[in-house]
A and B are shown apart, each in its own frame.
Chain A
Amino acid sequence: MYPRQTTHPRHDRRGPAVRGLTAATTALLVAAVLAGCGSGSSSTAASPASASAADSGSSASFPVTVSPANGSVTLKAQPERIVSLSPTATEDLYAVGAGKQVVAVDSQSNYPSGAPVTSLSGLTPNAEAIIKYSPDLVVASADSNGLVAALTKVGVPVLIEPAAATLDDAYQQIGQLGAATGHDAQATRTVATMKSEIAADVKSAGTAHQGLGYYWELSANPYYSATSKTFIGQVVGLFGLKNIADAADKASDGGYPELSQEYIVTAKPQIIMLADNSAADGGQSPAVVAKRAGWADIPAVRTGLVVPLNDDVASRWGPRLPELVEQIAQALRKAPTS
């Protein structure tokens, strides 16, 4: 739903701004459906035999049926015009080797650099604007604005790949996108590589840091964090760290509580991870954190263990996850022993 920060509380907090548009968009959709019937939604794809070209080849036999969050979806032929409305899905598609089939990605899909970025919105998708690209597969992280219903009416299959709740979810989505695009084998390899890299990173960090407290900062104004039960909390949990946000579980059903500043300080986290350091996310940095009134005595600040993460990777559940795990591992190698 939220391309850049999908595992963030933003997720649940869609304002009236978004909802209010639904009526207007529905009206547009009716028009889109009427006009869309004739347009090229059914451009016949290459036959199963000839689709086995280039990259992964082997397993591209269609039709294929996959089971994304919006139920069972059957793809009659290998899609050749994919529109991705989710930054994570975009990364997944390129990772499994389906990049050449992607014709348009949403405005927040900033990776990999060659992806055909458009002004399409994954948050408030406009079916008509999407249909203009004559897609034969659309991938999104949420079914907002009646996306699935509208595209289904014009015969375009849609895969909803929502924010992963667990690591397995993330792997499964990559596998699913591989299957749906005819790149089964490479998807399997991608997942295997991710798993081994993550395992190696976790191992490289050793065990000396186990039990240290960490604070994951999603936003600094006010202070939003993520508990251990969130996707990102599970990822960091691989290192055996203690999440200070867990004490505030009751403050948020979604696992993204707003923390009291006094609590953060007195919980004395030994590590602070900033998922809000890019300019667009609030521009927090280790230097800014050190200057916050009352924060100077926090162990993490004193020992310099305030880690500015790659915000995009930290808020997605795609193939670059090992990079995030490695960044955390690097920091932990410098951590004091508990």
Chain B
Amino acid sequence: MNPGADRDARPAGHPGRRTARAYGIAAAFLVVAVLGSALVGAADLNPLATVTALLDRIPFVDLHSSLSPLDRAVLYQIRMPRIVLGALVGGLLSLAGAGYQGVFRNPLVDSGLLGASAGAGLGATVAIVYLGGAGPSAVPVAAFVGALAGVAVAYAAGAVGGPGTATLLLAGLAVGMFLTAIQTFVLQRSAQDIQQVYSWLLGSLATAGWGQVGEILPYTAVSTLVVLLHGRHLDVLSVGDEEARSLGLHPGRIRLLVVSACALAAATAVAVSGLIGFVGIIVPHAVRRLAGTSYRVVLPLSLLFGAGFLVLADTLARTVLAPGELPIGVVTALVGSPVFIWILRGTRSVHT
């Protein structure tokens, strides 16, 4: 860390060496998180055998690992997809958070804002309570649709109040509360489903598989690409709508596009992991401390750090109480909050 050196709120940030260093740290962080995570778990796999088994999977590398077939199944079918899914979810949540913060010029905005979390919660609850027969497959779809619908309603409601991001934020809050109230109502009428809904609300990667990774890849790619391409636009917007217009940009259009892409990212993450809070706030802020406030840097770095952060958080979730599990939402908030305050140390005011 480099306290005191990153108070630069100008859009361009410090190009060059500092950015390169930040990317280096981010890449190293992600690699270490993934490797470390691959080596630990409730199943006590021999670390050396695990490494050889993983290397064996690289094309043209042929190594013999002493892992039994069962252990291999655990590593390839249970642990690795969970790590990869965690990385994707963490990256998406952080990217969505950073994107929203750019659009709303507000550092307190999280990926679940604008009715996304509330909509997803309502969708999942309805699926669990009324579509129990459709099995677990209905829940992610319902959460995904719910999150997107929540954001759409919030956006429409915000537009009624005229342009400006504050109205949109407030509309998002109102819509979120409204949807949460419906969700509570639905749940109250079917209290025997509380445990299932509650588990979902706290977030979990406990049943992650390659199938889910495959399912979310297209949405991940599209939303990530769109958000990343708008880094420069968000930098211009952060100076003000007038300035943006004078540069030939359409602030309203950019906001709609970025909000849509962020909503897609958040909905995708939520669909496979439930509600994991705080990641979308903590990661972008940590990134700003490290690399400045230009969205051209903050967005991609949030993606990388978010991926690493969630992989680590999930590693704790599945090892602290092993062979039991903790809900990952508990870990992100429990570990994330103190770390966040530590990061904020010395940041007297946060500009986004």
B210 at the interface (CB under 8 A from A): yes
A4 at the interface (CB under 8 A from B): yes
A79 at the interface (CB under 8 A from B): no
Which size bracket describes the interface of A in this complex?
A: 35 or more
Answer whether A10 and B74 are a contact pair too, CB < 8 Å, given A259-B324, A260-B325: no
What is the size, in residues, of chain B's interface with A at 8 Å between Cβ atoms?
Answer: 46
Answer whether A293 and B71 are a contact pair too, CB < 8 Å, given A222-B199, A259-B325, A280-B133: no
B77 surroundings in chain A (CB, below 8 A): 293-294
A266 to B42, CA, bound (A): 9
A283 at the interface (CB under 8 A from B): yes
* Contact of B133 (CB < 8 Å), options: A13, A221, A252, A283: A283
A258 at the interface (CB under 8 A from B): yes
A13 surroundings in chain B (CB, below 8 A): 194-195, 198
Q: Closest CB-CB distance, B78 to chain A, in whole Å? A: 5
Task: Render B51-82 as a binary contact track against A, CB cut-off 8 A, 1 for contact.
Answer: 00000000000000000011101101111010
A133 at the interface (CB under 8 A from B): no
A295 surroundings in chain B (CB, below 8 A): 73
Question: Which of A5, A9, A221, A283 counts the most B-chain CB atoms under 10 A from its CB?
Answer: A221
B192 at the interface (CB under 8 A from A): yes
Select from chain B the residue with minimum beta-carbon distance to A278.
Answer: B132
Q: Are B195 and A108 in contact (CB under 8 A)?
A: no
* Contact of A263 (CB < 8 Å), options: B191, B204, B323, B326: B323
Main secondary structure of the interface of B (DSSP, over half): helix
Q: Which residues between 281 and 317 of chain A lie within 8 Å of chain B, taking CB atoms?
A: 281-283, 288, 292-298
Q: Are B194 and A248 in contact (CB under 8 A)?
A: no
Answer whether A17 and B194 are a contact pair too, CB < 8 Å, given A221-B206, A260-B323: yes
A71 at the interface (CB under 8 A from B): no
Select from chain B the residue with minimum beta-carbon distance to A247.
Answer: B323
Select from chain B the residue with minimum beta-carbon distance to A249.
Answer: B324
Q: Are B207 and A221 in contact (CB under 8 A)?
A: yes
Answer whether A123 and B191 are a contact pair too, CB < 8 Å, given A293-B210, A294-B74: yes
Task: Render A247-284 as a binary contact track against B, CB cut-off 8 A, 1 for contact.
Answer: 11011100001111111111110000000000111110
Chain A residues in contact with chain B, CB under 8 A? 2-5, 8-11, 13-18, 20-21, 108, 121, 123-124, 219-224, 247-248, 250-252, 257-268, 279-283, 288, 292-298
In the A-B complex, the 8 residue pairs with the closest CB atoms: A251-B324, A294-B77, A263-B323, A10-B195, A260-B42, A263-B42, A123-B191, A266-B43
